[in-house]
Chains A and B, each alone.
Chain A
Amino acid sequence: MGGTVLVSGTSSDAHTWNLIYVHLFLEERGYTVHNLGSCVPDDLLVRSCRELRPDLVVLSSVNGHGFTDGLRAIRTIREQRDVRHVPVVIGGKLGTDGLRNAGCTRRLLNAGFDAVFDNGDLGAFELFLNRHRTAAA
């Protein structure tokens, strides 16, 4: 089966329907999900990674600040000696202009995200999960 996934909103984002949806989506694929809810400060995210030791962290943001908040969150995680190796992905509506932004996506990947689903592409996410699962097996 899938393992443990930590689902979390980003620090400035109050939206939760996205979190509930992604939570159910993962549960239906056999994962055990811990949902941190919205407006999660980076230190709570790091602490939860430390305590839960999840197999995957999924950040979701739709308020338009996802690029900025995601960048800060991933840098913080990758700086921690003990949790820096956890796989982390981000998705949703990451910018304010509704456009796919290859430059921003590349910066997020370079900063340490394992995958970025800029326009919330669930098909691509599913493929990622399958690959991730095979790799872990």
Chain B
Amino acid sequence: MTAPPDRGFGGFVATARSHGHLVVQPRMGFGSRARMRVGLERTKQAQGVTVGTITLDSYTRVGDFAAARAAVGGNSPLNGYPLLAHGAEATRALLDGVQDESFPVQVRHGSARPQAVFAELVAAGVHATEGGPVSYCLPYSRTPLRESVRHWAQSCELLASAGGPDVVPHLESFGGCMLGQLCPPGLLVALSVLEGLFFTQHGLRSISLSYAQQTSTEQDMEALAALHRLAAEELPPDVRWHSVLYAYMGLYPSTARGAERLLRSAASLAVRAGAARLIVKTTAEAHRIPTIAENVAALELAAHTAAQARPDEPGAPRDESGGGVYAEARALVHAVRELHPDLGTALARAFARGLLDIPFCLHPDNQGRTRSLIDDQGRLRWSSTGGLPLPGTAPQPAARAMTSAGLLESLTFVQRAYDS
């Protein structure tokens, strides 16, 4: 028996990949419907294999729909599209004639209580979105982790039951990003895989796992290899999945040249490491919300760069199994899975016990006993592992006291390298 064709988001990316194309996607969202529509049209017309994005504004993200409506009514600028203020009907009209089989659209939000957002996007005819019970709770809200897990379980089930006969609902984990910077790759890979497993426990059959570019290309190659290997080992065989790379999510280069160089390195990293999709950043990133034209320029630069890159030969001298990153991620995933068969319960317990612990995260449900640094080869490493069950970690000297200057030096590492 062959699976029915998937004319949705996941199916589109799989087809592009089988033809050797990297799918490129913006992080685009505007307060006005007219501008959002033009943004999607221009994304669709851009040179390259693109999918569309509707990024939601911060009021909608935190559930303050009244503030989003007030901003729409009062014409004050928003940092994204207020899906609930505009409503499903108007959003459906906005998508009419743009979203189709050749151009699936994903809603990106950042909400720890996404039920209302999920219901609205499904009602608007969208079947792809992203986030996760951990990745949209700890960096994005004050919501207790246990509550976020409950909200996300309900939301996954809502989305899973929403597809049509030939559209499989798709959900992407944001677990490979967390605070955008200074989280060692082993933990990012583990969180992505764990959230992917959570999605499949709640009915999803088409998912993607993310990883955000960090400070060292070599380490990022290992991380993507580890993500691919671990996903293949851990995910149920009937689940279709792909990997998505995020162009650097930390403090971005402030010059146009630096921003473009960083995006190009993300695009070739994606192709070399075999990621299926890339989410781009623009030359405006360090300064303000990008325009439509800046988004299109970033998409085309990324697609052009990707078309010239080739996947690395498997078995190239580099440790293509993911080496240290794989061992770390695997140890974390297994330690969490052993806590409870229900992934949501396991994730909440893991954070309560410090088996998962995000460096520099202020959320009350994160223990905050881990710390990281960038070593002299530019790789992200642990300087304090707290209670993380990592293989073969020797006891470390206590991390040096953090200073504002020291923090800024780490945060600007990539920015300085690409701006200079």
User: CB within 8 Å of B: which residues of A?
Assistant: 11-14, 16-17, 19-21, 24-25, 28, 35, 37-40, 63-65, 67-68, 93, 95-99
Contacts and interface: CB of A to CB of B under 8 A. Distances in A.
B402 A24 contact: yes
Contact of B61 (A12, A21, A68, A98): A12
B288 A38 contact: no
Interface string B205-237: 000000000000000000000000000000000
Nearest to A25: B404
A43 B287 CA distance: 31
Contacts of A17: 179, 181, 251, 360, 407, 411
B78 A24 contact: no
Contacts of A97: 77, 288-289
A22 to B, nearest CB: 8
A12 B287 contact: no
A71 B58 CA distance: 16
B145 to A, nearest CB: 14
A16 B139 contact: yes
A61 to B, nearest CB: 10
Given A14-B61, A68-B71, A21 B77 contact: no
A63 B79 contact: yes
Contact of A12 (B62, B362, B411): B62
A88 B407 CA distance: 25
Given A20-B362, A39-B141, 7 more contacts: A12-B67, A16-B361, A21-B408, A24-B407, A37-B142, A93-B288, A98-B284
Interface residues of B, number: 35
Interface in B27-74: 57-59, 61-62, 64, 67, 71
A24 B402 CA distance: 8
A125 to B, nearest CB: 12
A95 B77 contact: yes
Report whether over half of chain A's contact residues are helix, strand or loop; otherwise say mixed: loop
Contact of A98 (B58, B141, B288): B288
Given A96-B79, A98-B288, A65 B404 contact: no
B408 A65 contact: no
Interface string B176-190: 000101000000000
B86 interface: no
Contacts of A35: 362
Interface in B185-210: none
B406 to A, nearest CB: 9
B59 A12 contact: yes
Q: Which residue, B61, B139, B142, B402, has most C-beta atoms of chain A within 10 A?
A: B142
B403 interface: yes
Contact of A96 (B78, B110, B139, B408): B78
A64 B289 contact: yes
Nearest to A28: B404
Contact of B77 (A12, A40, A64): A64
Given A12-B62, A97-B288, A24 B362 contact: no
Q: Which residue, A12, A16, A19, A67, has most C-beta atoms of chain B within 10 A?
A: A12
A13 B172 CA distance: 23
Contacts of A93: 288
A96 B289 contact: yes
Interface in B399-420: 402-404, 407-408, 411
A65 B362 contact: no
A14 B140 contact: yes
A38 B79 contact: no
B362 A19 contact: yes
B146 interface: no
B62 A39 contact: yes
Interface string B366-404: 000000000000000000000000000000000000111
30 contacts: A11-B62, A11-B64, A12-B61, A12-B64, A14-B58, A14-B61, A14-B62, A14-B139, A14-B140, A14-B141, A16-B139, A16-B179, A17-B251, A21-B404, A21-B408, A28-B403, A39-B62, A64-B58, A64-B78, A64-B79, A64-B288, A93-B288, A95-B77, A96-B79, A96-B288, A97-B77, A97-B289, A98-B284, A98-B287, A99-B288
A127 to B, nearest CB: 17
A19 to B, nearest CB: 7
B144 to A, nearest CB: 13
B363 interface: yes
Contacts of B364: 37
B308 interface: no
A109 to B, nearest CB: 18
B76 interface: yes
A13 to B, nearest CB: 6
Question: 6 tightest A-B contacts by CB?
Answer: A98-B288, A24-B404, A12-B58, A64-B79, A98-B287, A37-B362
A64 B140 CA distance: 15
Contacts of A24: 402-404, 407
Given A16-B179, A96-B77, A38 B61 contact: no
